[in-house]
Amino acid sequence: MATTAKKPVKIIHDCDPGHDDAVAILMAAVHPMIDLKAVTVVAGNQTLEKTVRNALNVCSASKRCADIPIAAGMSRPMVREQVIAGDIHGESGLDGPVFGEPELGLDTRHAVDLIIDLLLDSDDPITLVPTGPLTNIAMAIRKEPEIVEKIERIVLMGGAYQHGNVTPSAEFNIYADPEAAHVVFTCGRPIVMMGLDVTRKANATAEMVAKVRSLGNPQAILFAEMMEFFAKSQKEVFGWDAPPLHDPTCIAWLIDPTCFTTKPMRVEIELRGSLTYGRTSCDYFGLEHQEGPGKELYEGGGALARPTGPNAEVAVDVDFEKFWKIIYDCFALYK
């Protein structure tokens, strides 16, 4: 029986490069399963000025983004004070490789407006792939609620149902703008959450990095140079022997979802906790679901009646070999 070829997935990649964002851009720009409609940039790993410069450099280095709009977005979170991750990504936000002047320039629109325009103008829905703080996505939803029905799904890197990485409770992308994350997780569209629980199993081992480097093309070399710095900073800060490749898990899921195991969960964002601000509270066991173990607390609007039911597919495991074959195959497509 003839298998129907899967159509490329139309995506907007919203990012805060950042070494792992940069790898995700290089994968999305080249893989035939991904129709990259735009790269939008947000403050996060570094200030907006630096994440924009890094995005232009990486998109230029891909040699695949000449016809793709790249737009600068929100320079600050919606409510809280700004936090950045200079300890992990360095002063430039992409320390390690040396870039010249980027060949590509910015779209004249603000990223929030570009996201709105692309969604409203598109004949069919578009998948949003945020790999940084969710400020641009949330601001677009608030500015133009009409876009929500044009969002196919949101495949995001962020959160954790176990341990955080910027506080014991919170993961950086969510912690950097918890109110934006609340807007996104309550927007009603399907969400795939690649949290730290799974990205910490998607490590850039020296063996895998060497395999990609051996391809020898400029993009593979750039990958290896970025991983060299990323590995050092992740070792210093967290003691990891091999850095977790957080953001590329989103692109890998789009290319082959079978690479991951996900579990439906209700995910809510803590906005008031002094110790837990920015935590993704993930109902792993369905405790707060009306059909769950604690249902007597909820029947008839019981004491703890809350919105119930899963709002996200949360990744709980990754097939490491499959994940790295996807990454290797992406960089092998660069000639």
Residues in contact with Ca ion by CB under 5 A are: 16, 18, 21, 131-132, 247
Shortest reach from residue 120's CB to Ca ion, in Å: 26
Chosen residue from 157, 194, 222, 259 binding ligand RIB by CB under 6 A: 157
Binding of ligand RIB by 283 (CB under 6 A):
no
**Among Ca ion, ligand RIB, none, what does residue 334 contact (CB within 5–8 Å per kind)?**
none
Question: What span, in angstroms and rounded, lies between the C-alpha atoms of 141 and 144?
Answer: 5
Helices (H) then strands (E): counts for the chain: 12, 10
Instruction: For residue 16, indicate whether it is catalytic.
Output: yes
Question: What span, in angstroms and rounded, lies between the C-alpha atoms of 295 and 196?
Answer: 29
- Nearer to Ca ion by Cβ, of 165 and 169: the residue is 165
Question: How buried is 313 (Cβ within 10 angstroms: 0-12 exposed, 13-18 middle, 19+ buried)?
Answer: buried
Helix/strand/coil for 107:
coil
- Nearer to ligand RIB by Cβ, of 93 and 286: the residue is 93
Question: What span, in angstroms and rounded, lies between the C-alpha atoms of 227 and 305?
Answer: 47
Of 247-266, binders to ligand RIB (CB under 6 A) are 247
Q: Residues touching ligand RIB: how many (CB under 6 A)?
A: 16
- Per-position x/- string for 59-88, each x denoting binding to ligand RIB as judged by CB under 6 A, each - no binding: --------------------------x---
Question: How buried is 128 (Cβ within 10 angstroms: 0-12 exposed, 13-18 middle, 19+ buried)?
Answer: buried
Shortest reach from residue 201's CB to ligand RIB, in Å: 14
What would the DSSP string read from start to end of 218-242? HHHHHHHHHHHHHHHHHHHHH--SS
Binding of ligand RIB by 173 (CB under 6 A):
yes
Q: Which of 16, 20, 197, 283 is catalytic?
A: 16
